[in-house]
Structures are given as C-alpha cells and as structure tokens.
Amino acid sequence: MTGTPDDLPSPDEFRRKMAHVDREFADARRYLSALRAEDNQALYALMTEIYHGGRAMKVLAAMAVQALDFADLSADRLGGDVQKWLDESVMAQDTAENERDRSELGGEG
C-alpha cells in the first residue's frame, strides 16, 4: 500500500468525494437505460447535462467500470470467456474500419 494514514482524506472529504463517484455511476446507469429504451429525448437531455457539467469523461469511465463488472458477472454466470470476446470484438471492429477506409478511398471493398 502506498498511502500512509497521514495521506488519507478526512471522513468528511471522503464522503464528499464518494458522493461525486456515486453521481457518475448513477448517470452512467441513466445513460444506459435511456439508450436501451431508445428514449432519444432523455438520452439527449442527459448527454447535454453531463457535457455542460464537464463530467462526460467521468461518466464514460463509470460506464466502462460497470461494463467490466457486468462482463465479469456474465462470465461467472454463463461460463463465457469475456477477454476472448473483447479481443475478437476489437479485431472485428478494426477489420470493418479497414474495409470502410478502403471503400472511402476508392479501393476495392
């Protein structure tokens, strides 16, 4: 552990910082819920709120953490290999982007 007891925040400061983290996770869940429900008005309102609040990257990070937690849970419950799926998804995306780039540049595709 790198921190010493002197480096730790006070209980009040810790609670204040945790409230911000909780808010980012809640907004990430709201975003995913609106996306899943195809509620474009709610999605736009939330995206505007988090963008203007300067919290877009924090919410995105919270969403990534939740996605990884869900992936781990799915792997545990369903027996899937999440890392293999992620690796294959990246390769499939790269292939699709390469094909799109070739067609946009006038090549065969």
Q: How far apart are the first and last CA of the chain?
A: 53
pTM of the complete model: 0.54
Read off the pLDDT band of 1 (50, 70, 90).
very low
Could you state, in order of their start, the residue ranges of all structural domains in the chain?
A: 10-66, 79-109
Helix boundaries (H) for the chain: 11-36, 40-52, 56-78, 82-104
Say yes or no to pLDDT of 9 above 70: yes
Read off the pLDDT band of 45 (50, 70, 90).
very high
Question: What pLDDT is attached to residue 40?
Answer: 93
CA distance 25 to 64: 10
